[in-house]
A and B are shown apart, each in its own frame.
Chain A
Amino acid sequence: AQKITQTQPGMFVQEKEAVTLDCTYDTSDQSYGLFWYKQPSSGEMIFLIYQGSYDEQNATEGRYSLNFQKARKSANLVISASQLGDSAMYFCAMREGSDYKLSFGAGTTVTVRA
């Protein structure tokens, strides 16, 4: 069963606008962690932001914020003030409970237009 679902294969956004990338997850554990990563066309994987299941506040890291809705099991990434360098593939991932297994979604490609 798919643990992490990213339903948007690709998105276009105008430079300086905000964009929201959807991520829903499936787990029966009470303790889990949610991650977002960026993969530019060069291929490297870059960690962006983390949200723990017990964290009451939404995580933020610079222009990245995570909109965590626990009851809906969603962990959407918001990129504010998009820049051309934000064009990349973005992956949502989850680590469940005490198991250190880290599973990824299929990813969303973001293209920022000037």
Chain B
Amino acid sequence: NAGVTQTPKFQVLKTGQSMTLQCAQDMNHNSMYWYRQDPGMGLRLIYYSASEGTTDKGEVPNGYNVSRLNKREFSLRLESAAPSQTSVYFCASLRGVMTFFGQGTRLTVV
């Protein structure tokens, strides 16, 4: 999906390190989301932003923070990474019924 760009695609962190996952969309969507997907499981909502300037917690927000920098960008920050945060992270944007996802970030915390 060229419309939602996530960086990086892969990352290995040591326990306790911090990092920010970047997400940007060029479709002028109001709503943006961060999910994590563990092996063989569904997507669990971490945080979402219904519109620029607002953010809300999802199902699994502990250990994460987000920033909706502007309408295009929604970043996810891990302040002190833990092995339990090893997962694939997806960013998504939504307008009406159309949903677009980034290609995912495979994060490993050792």
Interfacial residues, chain A to chain B (CB-CB below 8 A): 6, 33, 35, 37, 43-47, 50, 52, 91, 93, 95, 99-107
Cα A106 to Cα B42 in complex, Å, equals 4
Select from chain A the residue with minimum beta-carbon distance to B31: A100
Known contacts A35-B97, A107-B42, A100 near B103 by CB under 8 Å: no
How far, in Å, is B76 (CB) from chain A's closest CB? Answer: 16
Interface string of B93-110 (1 = CB under 8 A from A): 010011111011000000
A104/B99 in contact, CB under 8 A? no
Known contacts A37-B99, A43-B104, A102 near B33 by CB under 8 Å: yes
Chain B interface helix/strand/loop/mixed:
strand
Select from chain B the residue with minimum beta-carbon distance to A105: B42
Known pairs A45-B99, A46-B101. 16 more at Cβ < 8 A? A33-B97, A43-B103, A44-B103, A52-B97, A91-B42, A91-B43, A93-B43, A100-B31, A100-B48, A100-B50, A101-B48, A101-B58, A102-B33, A104-B35, A105-B42, A107-B41
